[in-house]
Amino acid sequence: MKRASAAAGFTDQGPPSARAGVLLPLFCKDGSYHCLFTRRTDRVRHHKGEISFPGGIYDTSDEDLSATALREAHEEIGLKPQDVDLLGALDEVITMTGFVVSPFVGLMPYPYSFILSPEEIEEIIILPLAGFLKEGVLSEEDWTYQEKTAKVYTYHCGRHVIWGATAKILRQFLELIPVGGIR
């Protein structure tokens, strides 16, 4: 994982209007590490009803893409930037909708008093990292989205299906963890 400050700038992957930053928030709960996801409302412009990490589109007022991720996490779920310890950046992911997403991994305190944006976020989903490593949870499937078909990673976690760019980011992060390294 790259240090966040070294990877927070732009590449030539796309115009700033198509750039986005997301936060992969981690915390310890009941002695094991968990990851926070959000389910987007049906009122948002992009990715309606999907499970995602907090984040969004770069704004010219953002210092860099890590600032975008932190700003959006604050706007969406009330997670204050000063409460996040950025650990580093993962490789960029290009979505089926044309966004170039820069993911950042950060530790946050838990429990936390979240404040959800009612326009953007339907619910917060908290899942243990160890659950993603179980046999049969990850699959690669053909998905059609907005008339485009592609092979996408899909995590089936109980009633939650995490797919597309979010699953690709999660998989990239999980591959960095040594076998037996998650409790």
Any idea what DSSP says for residue 134?
A: S
- Taking the model in full, what pTM does it have? 0.88
SS3 16: helix
Q: What is the pLDDT of residue 22?
A: 99
Residues 100-124: tens digit of each pLDDT: 999 999 999 999 999 999 999 999 9
Q: Is the pLDDT confidence value at 177 over 90?
A: no
Any idea what DSSP says for residue 53?
A: -
Q: What is the pLDDT of residue 97?
A: 79
Give the angle subtended at the CA of 92 by the CAs of 98 and 97, to the nearest 5°: 15
Task: State the alpha helices, DSSP H only, in 1-151.
Answer: 4-7, 65-77
CA distance between the termini of the chain? 20
Structural domains in the chain?
4-9+18-174 (3.90.79.10)
Model confidence band, residue 14 (pLDDT cutoffs 50, 70, 90): low
**Measuring CA to CA, how many Å separate 76 from each of 59, 145, 176?**
15, 24, 27
pLDDT over 70 percentage in the chain: 88
Range scoring the smallest mean pLDDT among 86-100, 134-148, 165-179:
134-148
